Chain A
Amino acid sequence: MIWAPESDNPNFVGQVSTWRRVLSPTGNTGDAIFRVLMLAVALLMVGIVVAMVIALTADSMLSIRQFGFGFLTSQRWDPIKGEFGALPFIYGTVASSLIALLISVPFSLGIAIFLVEQAPHYIARPVGFLVELLAAIPSVVYGLWGIFVLAPFLRNYTEPALASAFGWLPLFKGQITGIGLLTGGIILAIMVTPIISAIVRDVLAAVPGSQREAALALGATKWEMIRVVLVNGAPGIAGAIILGLGRALGETMAVTMVIGNRPDISLSLFDPSYTIASAIANEFTEATGDLYLSSLVELGLILFLVTFVVNGIARLLVWNVTRKTGGVGRAA
């Protein structure tokens, strides 16, 4: 009974010191080393983030000086003539991510609610596993699937249907090619669904069972009980969505292959668009000229800041839930 409380066992102290000497001959030195090592690792992480911001800012100074705030508002991107503006990329990044969330959030909530509240264990486990498996598929595979399967499907069925039903909206006007903002958004939706649904599942599972029992005891139907659970987990769900958004903002390869890569701001979801991450991936390898490189780095800085802010908000929300219910947000 080595692990019994000290007061119950008079031999405890002696036993522990024997064990101690065997396990840890240097006494507390191990603790000290461990503490210093962990502190170093943590500081290293902070240092890397700070170093990244400094490096990105330093390397984009040329472009910042040349274009100033106009870099954020200009719509021209012409490397040959040396004119650079980030607005179409910012628009494409934000718009494709929002489309992704609009599609993904209802699906993810549905999956999570089903897995936690309705599915029997023998179904919940394999389905949950399959959903998480989606997150492990490399994004280039999503991209290829997007080009060869999703884009033709959208071109032949979805987009003509949308155009004939809602063609009077500027959102659904223009040439139908299957490649464009909508396709990019749908690919992103499929990619962020496993992340959001996995986190929401853990959030819902952590809502205390007493809440459910209380709701049912008051005569709530199952649906009403689920609403109580959802309200309880709301901040955690918001955190999950924002983490999904963070993933969507930074996704590169899959989006590049289906979004059409055109730095234009168009209201139509059928028109090609461009994201910041895609622009960097596309143009960095062949970028020559200091101003061109500097502008691409500044794009990276903008994306970094956007992602940084989004992740910060997510952390705050998740922390908020953790504090209230004790562990709901731990999975995030």
Chain B
Amino acid sequence: MSVFQRGFQLLASICALTVLVTSFACNGSGPGSNGAVSLHGAGATFPNPLYQKWLSEYEKVQPNIKIDYQSIGSGGGIKQLKEQTVDFGASDAPMKDEDLKSAPGEILHIPTVLGAVVITYNLTGPNQPLRFSPDVIADIYLGKVTKWNDARIAAENPGVTLPGNDITVVHRSDGSGTSAVFTDYLSKVSAEWKEKVGTGTSPSWPLGLGGKGNEGVTGQVKNTPNTIGYVELAYAVQNKLPVAHIKNSSGSFIEPSIDSVTAAAAASAGSTPDDLRVSITNAPGAQVYPISSYTYILVYKDQKDAAKGKALVDFLWWGIHDGEAFAKALQYAPLPADIVKRAEAKINSITAGGSPLRQS
């Protein structure tokens, strides 16, 4: 036997040993060992702080159930759910029809909380919140209103001294549910926006600077005079940014707040379809903040694994009831009561192998 052969044998046995050890390790971590169930979720970044709070609170209630959530973005969440590499996904915008069709099973949308997109700005002079009507916001982002002292801005802000500087527009550069909600709103209030730009997570912005994430937009707005940008409500509140009041479809200027966002959901509850996939931007109602949106957890209606499915429906049930209590402290708007009822029905309809997982 040559030296080389002996060496090769040794190498081969090392390899075999490695394979053996690895396969043992894999066997050890299979599902259902000692009664613990682990669930994996992935998706939207917007509700991540709330979901992390839910996970840590839920672990106190159900120590046997280990849940983790990766905030990789709505797009990634939908993709992983369709590839069935996670047990639940999460998305700010409801899934599109073609995405639902190409999924390997029926997917349910469970709304969890609501968020809002607010307009923030950096302007020296005004010491009261600016007021905008929808067409002015659209035209600023289309590049048609270019000066702060434009007559149309001035008309809505009587008594406010506006500088004659150019408006510097800031938008999100990363693909984001926040951009999707904002462009969905602009598409509803401006025909020109709908035709030229449209609705999406990464629209082709007619002008402006792109900031990465809420922090990127905020950084550029805070640091650059005469800027306007949009961020999530929670982010604006926590960082005490100036936020504009927006004219809603009833004609009143509304300050973005948890209550005016929940009001938007309540006001559009009647027109919300059965599958709960709905855009509530520009909702009717006097007290409604118009740039609001649901965020959803996405699950398969028929679960493959009964133990995991049971754990999942229990968690979702806990979330839309007990979990809602944590929403306000984190600046999310809780669901209105009638949407909770309809979400309950969705959770109750989840099955494993055809038999329902929750006895209601």
| Interface, chain A (partner B; CB < 8 A) | 26-29, 31-33, 36-37, 76-81, 144, 147-148, 151-152, 155, 175, 177-180, 256-257, 260-263, 272, 274, 278, 281-288
Known: A155-B224, A177-B168, A178-B223. A32 touches B6 (CB 8 A): yes
Closest to B8 in A: A36
| Neighbouring B residues of A180 by C-beta, 8 Å | 209
Q: Are A147 and B210 in contact (CB under 8 A)?
A: no
A-B contact count (CB 8 A): 125
Q: Could you tell me the distance in whole angstroms from the C-beta of B83 to the nearest C-beta in chain A?
A: 13
Q: Are A175 and B174 in contact (CB under 8 A)?
A: no
Chain B interface secondary structure, helix, strand, loop or mixed?
mixed
Known: A33-B11, A261-B210. A286 touches B204 (CB 8 A): no
Q: What are 30 A-B contacts with C-beta separation under 8 Å? A: A27-B3, A29-B3, A29-B7, A36-B11, A76-B204, A77-B204, A79-B175, A79-B203, A80-B198, A80-B203, A147-B219, A147-B223, A155-B224, A177-B224, A178-B223, A178-B224, A257-B219, A260-B210, A261-B211, A262-B205, A262-B209, A272-B210, A278-B173, A281-B174, A282-B174, A282-B210, A286-B76, A286-B202, A287-B201, A288-B79
Q: Are A286 and B224 in contact (CB under 8 A)?
A: no
Interface size on B, residues (CB 8 A): 42
Q: Cα distance A278–B203 when bound, in Å?
A: 16
| Interface, chain B (partner A; CB < 8 A) | 3-4, 6-8, 10-11, 72-76, 78-79, 96, 99, 166, 168, 173-177, 197-205, 208-212, 216, 219-220, 223-224
Q: Could you tell me the distance in whole angstroms from the C-beta of B188 to the nearest C-beta in chain A?
A: 15
Q: Are B209 and A80 in contact (CB under 8 A)?
A: no
Q: Could you tell me the distance in whole angstroms from the C-beta of B184 to the nearest C-beta in chain A?
A: 11
Q: Could you tell me the distance in whole angstroms from the C-beta of A178 to the nearest C-beta in chain B?
A: 6
Q: Cα distance A177–B212 when bound, in Å?
A: 16
Q: Cα distance A285–B48 when bound, in Å?
A: 15
Q: Are B216 and A257 in contact (CB under 8 A)?
A: yes
| Neighbouring B residues of A76 by C-beta, 8 Å | 204
| Neighbouring A residues of B205 by C-beta, 8 Å | 262
| Neighbouring A residues of B4 by C-beta, 8 Å | 32
Q: Could you tell me the distance in whole angstroms from the C-beta of A278 to the nearest C-beta in chain B?
A: 7
Having A272-B208, A287-B202, one finds 10 other A-B pairs with CB under 8 Å, namely A78-B203, A79-B201, A80-B197, A152-B223, A175-B168, A178-B223, A179-B220, A272-B209, A282-B202, A285-B75
| Neighbouring A residues of B201 by C-beta, 8 Å | 79, 286-288
| Neighbouring A residues of B166 by C-beta, 8 Å | 175
Q: Could you tell me the distance in whole angstroms from the C-beta of A24 to the nearest C-beta in chain B?
A: 12
Q: Could you tell me the distance in whole angstroms from the C-beta of B268 to the nearest C-beta in chain A?
A: 24
| Residue in B7, B96, B202, B219 whose beta carbon sits within 8 Å of that of A79 in the complex | B202
Q: Could you tell me the distance in whole angstroms from the C-beta of A273 to the nearest C-beta in chain B?
A: 10
